[in-house]
């Protein structure tokens, strides 16, 4: 008998296929907001007209723009953005960009609500030993226009990197999830292809680890299977024709579905756990961590969850085949890295990675039990 609990999040709406500028203005009208603080991609801001379109459509309702969020969302940038949002008395944060910006705005929400003004004070709001501390709920919320497809706009958690320790730390609160996500494929054509495709594998990773979890359930499975099928079909179409907006829309909807397991309480596994460390310590882009780790994790886990892995191969159009092999071939076909060596992580780094991975929230939830760093190292060797 299935047992579990699904908690529906605090996102109000998902708007898809409508121009971003019009949709952002519509959301401000709906929410009664009058002072939007834009947190946006610096490249998008400086080299395209996409941010100008939103700014112009909002007029004097756009009070300031922050465009200096580095990859992996360092604490320093979060504090700087929060200070700017506080100074302009923002009543809504609007993000336009990738996952680091989306997560940065979630962190800014908590900084504003809890008077976090210094880098070290982020300790007061981060998750400790799997538990989020008591804190004031965000009042200034966010809406998000994603330009990559890792899916962070559909979650109530954020990853923020402590630059001093090179550790990616989790922040979590039910109300940091955006009030609305706006999926406009036209805005995403400026995203570098390697980034679009690799964050697409991050979305694939969400589907796969959700399906393969010991804690999977039918509600989450339905979303993960459909999302994985859409991503498996659409990502190669975008690689073949970067201007194919229908394919980009399918990728975005597949990504939305990919977050179904996580938002329904199904944990991720070792690919995500190791990926946290690769990003924080070795500056490996999020999508690339999934490209190099997911097939290796699947191979290592297969002894314990072959039946669930069969669902992955089938959803990707290869029923009866080995899921790790299917994923390996799919990622290679997109021209993405498939080994740790390709992202400049070598065996001499493995002991530290393995030790740090044990402290992430996902390693203890991996479907095949991981008792210590030595087993994480086995997975790293498979990905070497």
CA atoms within 13 A on the CB side of 38: 29
Q: What is the pTM of this model?
A: 0.95
As a CATH number, domain 192-383 is 1.20.1090.10
User: What's phi and psi for 25, nearest 5 deg?
Assistant: -60, -40
> What would the mean pLDDT of 150-156 be, rounded to a whole number?
95
pLDDT for res 11: 97
**Helical axes 286-315 vs 193-212, angle rounded to 10°:** 50
> What would the mean pLDDT of 80-108 be, rounded to a whole number?
98
> Which candidate, 256, 262, 200, places its Cα nearest to that of 231?
200
Indicate the pLDDT class of residue 3, thresholds 50, 70 and 90: confident
Indicate the pLDDT class of residue 1, thresholds 50, 70 and 90: confident
pLDDT for res 94: 98
The domain locations on the chain are 13-185, 192-383
Q: Would you list the DSSP string of 144-204?
A: EEESS-S-GGG-SEEEEEETTTTEEEEEE-GGGS-SEEEE-GGGGGGS-HHHHHHHHHHHH
> What would the mean pLDDT of 350-369 be, rounded to a whole number?
96
Average pLDDT over all residues of the chain: 97
Q: Looking at per-residue confidence, does 236 or 129 come out higher?
A: 236
pLDDT for res 5: 85
Query: Which CATH topology does 13-185 take?
Result: Rossmann fold (3.40.50)
Indicate the pLDDT class of residue 129, thresholds 50, 70 and 90: confident
In what helix (H) or strand (E) does residue 358 lie, and over which residues does it extend?
none
């Amino acid at each position: 008998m299935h047992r579990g609990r699904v908690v529906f999040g605090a996102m109000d709406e998902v708007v898809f296929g409508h121009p971003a500028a019009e949709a952002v203005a519509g959301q401000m009208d709906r929410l009664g907001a009058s002072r939007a603080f834009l947190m946006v991609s610096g490249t998008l801001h400086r080299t395209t007209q996409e941010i100008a379109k939103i700014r112009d459509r909002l007029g004097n309702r756009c009070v300031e723009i922050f465009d200096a969020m580095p990859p992996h969302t360092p604490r320093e940038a979060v504090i700087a953005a929060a200070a700017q949002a506080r100074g302009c008395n923002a009543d809504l944060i609007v993000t336009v960009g990738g996952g680091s910006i989306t997560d940065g705005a979630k962190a800014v929400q908590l900084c504003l609500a809890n008077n976090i003004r210094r880098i070290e004070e982020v300790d007061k709001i981060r998750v400790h030993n799997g538990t989020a501390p008591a804190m004031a709920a965000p009042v200034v919320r966010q809406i998000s226009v994603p330009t990559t497809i890792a899916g962070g706009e559909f979650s109530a958690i954020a990853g923020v990197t402590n630059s001093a320790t090179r550790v990616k730390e989790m922040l979590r609160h039910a109300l940091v999830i955006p009030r609305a996500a706006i999926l406009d494929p036209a805005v995403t054509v400026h995203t570098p292809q390697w980034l679009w495709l690799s964050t697409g594998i991050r979305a694939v990773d969400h589907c796969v680890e959700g399906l393969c979890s010991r804690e999977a359930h039918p509600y989450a499975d339905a979303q993960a299977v459909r999302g994985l099928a859409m991503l498996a079909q659409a990502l190669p179409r975008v690689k073949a024709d970067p201007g194919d907006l229908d394919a980009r829309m399918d990728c975005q909807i597949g990504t939305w579905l990919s977050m179904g397991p996580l938002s329904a309480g199904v944990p991720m596994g070792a690919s995500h756990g190791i990926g946290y460390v690769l990003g924080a310590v070795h500056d490996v882009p999020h999508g690339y961590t999934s490209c190099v780790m997911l097939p290796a994790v699947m191979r290592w886990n297969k002894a314990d969850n072959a039946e669930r892995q069969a669902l992955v191969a089938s959803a990707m159009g290869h029923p009866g085949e080995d899921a790790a092999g299917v994923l390996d071939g799919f990622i290679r076909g997109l021209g993405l890295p498939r080994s740790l060596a390709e992202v400049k992580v070598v065996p001499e780094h493995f002991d530290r990675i393995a030790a740090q991975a044990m402290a992430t929230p996902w390693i203890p939830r991996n479907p095949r039990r991981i008792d210590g760093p030595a087993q994480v190292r086995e997975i790293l060797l498979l990905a070497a």
